Structure 1
Amino acid sequence: MAEYTAETEHGLQPAPPPGPVREFWHSFKENRGAVIGLVVFSTFLLIAIIAPLLAPYGPAQQFRDHLLQPPVWQDGGSWQFPLGTDPLGRDMVSRLLYGARFSFFIGVVVVAIATFFGVVIGVIAGFAPRWADTLIMRVMDIVLSFPSLLMALVLVAILGPSLINAMIAIAVVLQPHFVRLTRAAVLSERAKDYVTAARVAGSGQLRIMFKTVLPNCLSPIIVQAALSFSTAVLDAAALGFLGMGAQPPTPEWGTMLAEAREFILRAWWVVTLPGLCILVTVLAINLMGDGLRDALDPKLKRS
C-alpha cells in the first residue's frame, strides 16, 4: 500500500489511513484492464438506461421498403439506418440499444435472486447441524453436477419458454455457487474471537449469523456476483438463441441472433452486431470482476 503523510506544525507526520472506499479505489485502479472494463460497463449501463432517448425508432417498428439494408459504410447503405436493418426492416441501432436494456435487466434480476437465496442458504448451512449442512450441500452438488446451460434448458422446458422463466432458471443454476462460497466464508469466520464475544454478550443466533458474521463474508460474494452477471447475460442469450428465452419481437441480443441466423451469409450485420455486443459486455464484466477480486481480497493486494 502507498504511504500517506501529512504536514503538521511538527513537520511531516503519518496521515490517518485512507477510508475503505479510497483504499478500494487505490487497489482497483492499479488493474488497467479492470478500469477499462468498468468504463465499458458503465457506458453500456448508461446506454441501457437512456435507450428510449437514443434510439431513432421503436424496436419493433418495421420499414418494409428497407429489408436487410446494409450499414451506411457498405454499398446500398444510408444514414437513415446507420447499422442497417434486419429481415423485417427494423432498425438495428434501435434494437441493439433496447437489447442492452433487456440484457442488463436480466443480469440484475438474476444476480439479485441468486445472491439473496444463495447467501441465505449458505449462512444457514454454515451454522446448521452437521446432518442439515450435509443435506444442503449434497443438493447443491447435484445441481452443480449438470452443465449449467443444460440445467437451465430443462427448467425452462418445464416452466415454459419466456423471458421470466429463463431468468428464474438461470438464477437457480447460479445459486449453488453462492451457497458454497458463503458457507466456506462462514465456516472460516464463525470460529473467530469476535463471534465468541458476541455469543458471550448474549446475541441471538440470527443476529450472529446475519449481523455479526455475514458482513465479514461480503468481499468474495461481491466478486462472485460481478462474475455471475456475465454468466447470466451469456446464458440468457444462449436460451434466447435456442428459442427458450425471450420471445420475438423482444429485442434481446440472443433472440436477435436466432432470428437472423439464416441470413448470416448474405447479411452479416444482423448476426455480427448482436454477437459483438454480447462479447464486449461479457468481456468488460469479466475484466471488472478480476479487478474487484484483486481489490477486495487482502491476499492479492500489492504492498
Structure 2
Amino acid sequence: MADTTTPTRPSRLAEFWQYFSENRGAVIGLYVFAFFVILALGADFIAPHDPTVQNRSATLQPPFWQEGGSLEYLLGTDPLGRDILSRLLHGARYSFFVGVVVVVIASFGGIVIGLVAGFAPKWLDTIIMRIMDIVLSFPSLLLALVLVAILGPSLLNAMIAIAIVLQPHYVRLTRAAVMTERSKDYVIASKVAGAKLTRLMFKTVLPNCLAPIIVQAALSFSNAILDVAALGFLGMGAQPPTPEWGTMLAEAREFILRAWWVVTFPGLAILITVLSINLMGDGLRDALDPKLKRS
C-alpha cells in the first residue's frame, strides 16, 4: 500500500535558519557578534579594571607579550594609564547601545512616514519623497556633524543626529514595499471588506514589508556604530572620559608612532564588529528575500 502521508513543512524559524546557515560568512558573523554582545553585557564582571581610573605610573604600557608589558594590563594602557582592555569592553556596551537606539528611532519614524507616503495622495507623497531626497543628497557624516553642532556635542545628540540621517532609507524602502503590496488581491479584499486605513496600513500591509526592513536595520546598526565612532573621533560624539571606541581613537591619535596599541585595538574592535554585522546582514537578505531562495 502506497504511503499517502504528506511531508510536514518546517516551521518558519527552522526554514529561516536553513537558508541563513547556508551562508557560512553570516553564521561566523552571528557567532562573532554574539560573542561581542556577551562581552558587552558582562563588562562589569569581565573587565579587570575600572575603565576611567588613571594610573599615572603605568602610562603607555605595552601589551603583556611585548617587552615592558605586564599581565596586570593585558592589552596595555593609554596615555593616562587607563586599562585598554577594560575600556574596550565597556566601549562595546556604548557602541551596541547606540546601534540599538539609532535603529529603533530611525526605523520607527521611517516606517510610519513610508506607510503614510505609500497610502497618501500623490501630492503629499511627492512632498514627502522630495524632502527625503534632499536629506539623502547630503553626505551622511557631514549632515550628522551639522546636526550635532546645532544640538551640542554629546552621545545623546550624536544618536539623534545619526537616526535622522538614516531615517530616509527606511522611508524609501517602506514606501517602495507598500506600493508593491497595495495593488495585490489581499489588500483589495481588505478594502472591500471595509478595513479602516490604519488597520490596512499596520496590520495588513506592514507585516508583508518587514523582510527588506529587517535587512536594512542590520546594515543601519553597523552604520550607526561607524558614524558614532567617527563623531567621537572628531570630538562631536561621546565626551571624555567615556570609554567609547571613537573617543579612544581621538585621545590616542598623537601617540600612533610610539604606542601602536592605543589605536590598533579600538580600530580592530570597530572593524570586527562592523564586519560581523554586515556578514549577518548578507545572511538575513539571503534568508528573507524569497527571490533568492531556491525551490
TM-score by length of 2: 0.99
Q: After TM superposition, list the pairs within 5 Å mapping 1:1-303 onto structure 2.
A: 11=3, 13-303=5-295
RMSD: 1.0
What displacement does 1:301 show? Answer: 1.2
Deviations 1:49-73 (A, max 9, x none): 1110100111101111100000001
What displacement does 1:13 show? Answer: 3.8
Deviations 1:77-123 (A, max 9, x none): 00000100000000011000000000000000000000000000000
What displacement does 1:12 show? Answer: 7.5
Deviations 1:245-269 (A, max 9, x none): 0000000000000000000000000
Identify which range, 59-68 or 10-19, moves more after superposition.
10-19
Q: Identity, % of aligned pairs?
A: 73
> Helix, strand or coil for the counterpart of 1:288?
helix
Cα distance in structure 2, aligned partners of 1:14 and 1:31: 29
Cα distance in structure 2, aligned partners of 1:88 and 1:13: 71
In structure 1, what residue type is equivalent to 2:135? Answer: V
What displacement does 1:10 show? Answer: 5.5
> Helix, strand or coil for the counterpart of 1:78?
coil
Cα distance in structure 1, aligned partners of 2:252 and 2:5: 65
Cα distance in structure 2, aligned partners of 1:257 and 1:10: 69
Cα distance in structure 2, aligned partners of 1:27 and 1:86: 44
In structure 2, what residue type is equivalent to 1:234? Answer: L
Unaligned stretches of 5+ in structure 2? none
User: Could you list the runs of 4 or more consecutive aligned residues of structure 1 that deviate by over 3 angstroms after TM superposition?
Assistant: 9-14
What displacement does 1:302 show? Answer: 2.5
What displacement does 1:14 show? Answer: 3.3
> Helix, strand or coil for the counterpart of 1:14?
coil
In structure 2, what residue type is equivalent to 1:80? Answer: E
Cα distance in structure 1, aligned partners of 2:122 and 2:4: 56
